[in-house]
């Protein structure tokens, strides 16, 4: 059995980014679209975004990610302090 391709690293959602002025005033939350976009930039060509689940609000800062290639999709996971925050698939 082949070992799946795995990519790991960190995403930094800059707390000084102007987007947090409106999202949300006084309570900055990382938009889900920014999280998915960060995964898309690494994965390359994607046909479909599937089943992304956000377990809680994401606040600006640093998060660890892992992407595992399982045939025709990437399994994407975002962590903070070893706690899963987001999980989803990118179909290739």
Per-residue pLDDT, 44? 84
Q: How far apart are CA 26 and CA 66, in angstroms?
A: 30
Number of Cβ within 10 Å of residue 64's Cβ equals 15
Domain ranges of the chain: 5-91
pTM of the model: 0.92
Question: Tens digits of per-residue pLDDT, 17-72?
Answer: 999 999 999 999 999 999 999 999 999 889 999 999 999 999 999 999 999 999 99
Q: Which CATH class is domain 5-91?
A: alpha beta
Q: What is the reported pLDDT for 4?
A: 80
In order, the DSSP letters of 33-75 are: HHHHHHHHHHH-S-SEEEEEEE-S---SEEEEEEEEE-SSEEE
């Amino acid at each position: 059995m082949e070992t799946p391709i795995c990519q790991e690293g960190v995403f930094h959602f800059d707390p000084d980014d102007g987007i947090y002025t409106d999202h949300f005033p006084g309570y900055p939350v990382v938009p889900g679209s920014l999280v998915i976009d960060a995964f898309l930039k690494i994965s390359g060509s994607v046909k479909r975004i599937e089943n992304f689940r956000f377990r809680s609000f994401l606040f600006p800062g640093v998060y660890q990610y892992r992407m595992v290639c399982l045939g025709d999709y990437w399994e994407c996971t975002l962590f903070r302090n070893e706690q899963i925050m987001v999980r989803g698939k990118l179909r290739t």
